[in-house]
Structure 1
Amino acid sequence: MSRTARALAAAAAALALVSACNSASNHTDPVKPGGAAAGNTRGVSADAIKVGGIVSMTSASGYSKKDTDLGAKARYLRANAEGGVGGRRIDYIGAQDDGQDPGKNLAAARKLVQQDKVFAVSPMSSVTFSGADFLEQEKVPTFGWGTLPSFCGPTYVYGFNGCLVPSPGGTLNQTWPEGLGQVLGGARGKSVAIIANDSDAGKFGIRTFQQGFAAAGFTVSYAKASVPATAVPSDWSAYVRELLAGADGKAPDAVVSVMQTPNNIGLFTALKRAGYKGVLTDPTDYDPGLLAKDATKQALDGVYVLLQFEPFESADPKMAQFKADIKAAAGGKEIPLNLHMLTGYMSADLFLSIAGKAGKDLTVESFQAAAQGFSDTGTLVGDRSEPKGQKDSFGCGALVQLKNGAYEVSVPFACHEPIPFK
C-alpha cells in the first residue's frame, strides 16, 4: 500500500515517465505505429498499450478526486520500470476531468475512445458514470471504485475491490456493519441512522446499507437520501433534528453518513454542536490532507472512517511499495496520502494484472478471456477474482478513527462473509 533497487536503465525509464506524466500534455511518449496488434486492436501497438482515465478533479462543492490520477500514474510508472506488460509499456495519457457532471462524464468517455483511441479506461472515479453504457458498447475494459451500479453486471467494467452496489441476487459487503459492531461492543440493541445525498447513488447507498446494518443486528432508526446533491446545505438543523429523533425519539447510537467530505464536515459539526455523543462514521474522510486545517480537523475528530483496503498505517510490505511508488510519481517528494491515490493505484493494478495474464497477444477478446479465470490473493484489497467481482464485493476492509489529529486503526483489515442483496 520496500522498493528494491533497480538497474540504471530502469531508473532512467522511470524518471522519463515521471517527467512525461507531469508535463502540460499529461502524456507519456506517443504510441508508435506498427505490429500486428496495432492494425486490429484499438490502443495496442507493437510496443505500447494506451490507457486513459476519467476522474472528478473538480466539482461544484470543491470536492476533488484528482489524486486518483496520481495513484494510477504511480502504478503505471512502476509497471513500465519493470518492463511493461507482455513486452509493451503503458502509455497512460492521464485522466479527463468530468466535474462530477453526467454530460461531461459521457463526453470524456467518447473522447478517450473515439479521439484518443485508448485500449482501456483505468481509473474511472466519479459520483456519476453516464459513460458506462458507451464504454460497454465499445467493449472498453474499464476499472474503478465499484461504488456505482454500473460496476455491477456489465461485461467490460470492473471494480478494483469488486461490486459494491449489486443488483438483487448479488451480495453486500459487511465490513462497515461488522466493524461498527466491534466499535460499539456489539450490534444487538444498538441503532444507526443513515443519511445520504438525494441522488441515484445516494438512494442506492441507502438501500444497500439499510439492509447491511439490519442484517448485522442493528436497528435502523432513520434511512434517507435527503441532502441535496448539487450544493452543501448552509443550515443543517433540520437534518440534525430528524437524525436525533430516530424512530422513537431516542438519538441513535451511530450516525452513518454516505456522503462526501464537504457534507460530512457540515453535518458532523452541527451534530456535535447539538450535543450528540454517539458514533459518527463515513466512507470518505481518510485523507491526511484534511488535517491541515484546524476547523476541518476539529469537525472530523472522533469520526470512524470505513476503508476497503489496507490502512496506510499497515506494516504490510505491499503498503510500503505503494508509498514508494507514490513518492516516485510525485517526483521524489513526500506528500500526504489519501484514499483517492489508492483508488487510482488499485484500479491500475487490477488492469495490469489481468493484462499480464492475457500475454503478448493482447486483444479485447484475449483480455476478457484472461479476466474470466483471473484470481490472486493477499493484495491491498484482499483476495481478488473475476468474474465474481462483477457481481460481488471482495468483502474486505477496516475502520480507522481520526483521533487527536492522527488516524488510528480501530478495526484491522479483515474479510467478512457477504450477505445476499434483496
Structure 2
Amino acid sequence: MNDSSAVPAGFVVGGVSSGVGKTVATLAIGCALEDAGYAVQPAKAGPDFIDPSHHESITGRPSRTLDRWLCGEDGLRRNYARGEGEICVVEGLMGLYDGDRSSTAMVAEALDLPVVLVVDANAGMESVAATALGFAAYAERIDRNVEVAGIVAQRAHGGRHEHGIREALPDDLAYFGRVPPSEELEIPDRHLGLEMGSETQISRDALDEAAETIDAERLASIARVPPGLESASAASGGGEDETGELTVAFADDAAFCFRYPATIERLRERATVRTFSPVAGDPVPDCDGVYLPGGYPELHGERLEGGGTLEHLGRLASDGLPVFGECGGLMAMSESLTTVDGERYDMAGILPATVTMCDRYQALDHVELEALERTLTARSGEEIRGHEFHYSRADVGTDARFRFETVRGRGITGERDGLAEYAALGTYAHVHPESGAFDRFLDSLES
C-alpha cells in the first residue's frame, strides 16, 4: 500500500446510460485490482448512498462522495484527497454526460481522471465500438476535457463475441475486459434504488469469476493522481473514542443508514461522537445534540414505535435538546408515519407533521435552500446545497414554522423546507459537510 499521506491515483467508471451495470462493473474492477495486489479506494460520483454501501462491502473502505453541486469543485477535490489506498475507482451516475448540476463527465473533468466506459454488449460487437467511439468524440463536440480511455463490455460472452468487440475498437480505445452475463451478479432493487450492501451481499464467487475477465494491470496503468492533489490535505476522522468539548449522538442502524463518511469525519473533528440504534431501542446517549440521517424508517415502523427510543428523543427535544433530521430523520421526528399498505406508526412527535409513504417518488433533484432566519444548519440569508430523493409526503399543521425557502427543489411544501419546533430541525434535503451545514450545526451547539 502507498504512504497514508499520498493521494490515490484514479479513474472513473462511466456508463452509456442508467441501468447499464456500472455498479457491478465497478465491484468487479475493484476485485480484479485487489486480486492483483492493489489497495482500492472506492468513490461515487453523485449524491447516492446505496451504491457506496456495496463498494464498502467489497473493499472494506468507505466510499467517497464526489458531487460538484453538493461539494463545489474545491470540496470535491478535497473529498477525493481524503481517500486511502493506491487506486481510486470512481463509479459514475446515470449516463456519462447526464446531469445538469454534477454529471459523471463533470466529476472526471474536475479531477482530470480518465474514463472507463461501461457498454452493454449483450447484443452487439461492432456496435459496442461505435457506441464507445461516439462517447469519446462527443466530449470534443461539447468542448469538455473528458478522456474516454477505453471500455468494459457488460454482459459480454467470451470467444467470438469478445474477439469481435476487441477487433472493432480503434487503437486509441483500450479493451479493459468484460463482465459475463450472470444472474448471480444482479442486485435486487426497491423504491430508492438497489438494496443496501449490508442487506444483499452479491456473490463473491461470481464477482471473482468476473474479475478474472478484467485486465487489472491495464486499468492500473491509466490511473493517475489529480493534478494539484499529490498529498492529502487532511486525514480521515477517527473512531468513537475521539474527545471534544461537544458530544453529538447520531442514529446508526438499518432505518438510519444514509450518511456521507465525510459528515461523520467533520463531526469528529470538533466533537465526541456517539452512536445509538432506534431500531434496537437504544436510549439516546447523553449529548449536546442529535443527528438523524435518512434511511428506511418505513421498513421498521413497528420496532421504531415500540422500541422507546423515539419517545425518549421526543421528550429530550421538548426540553430543548437540538435535533437535526434529514429525510428519514424528518420522518422519524414527525407525529406519525403511514406506509403504502396503510399501516400507521407513532413517531417521535417532535415536528407538527404526519408522513405518508407514496407509490412513486415525490422528489428527486439537487436542491438549494436559503435560510429565512438563523437555524441549526445555516445563518440567516445563507444558502446551502443538498439533494432530495424520497417517496413520502409530509402534511404539516397550520402553525408549522419553516426555516428555509427552496430556491431549487421541492422541499416539504414545494416552496419551503426545514420544519422547526423547539430547537429541532427536519429537512427533506440531504446535505454534505462541504455545504457548511454541519459546521453551523456544531456552532449552534456551542452557542
TM-score, normalisation: structure 1:
0.29
Structure with higher strand content: 2
Higher helix fraction: Structure 1 or Structure 2?
1
Which of these two proteins has the greater Rg computed from alpha carbons?
A: 2
User: What's the TM-score, normalizing by structure 2?
Assistant: 0.28
Q: Which has the higher contact order (CA 8 A, sep 6+)?
A: 1
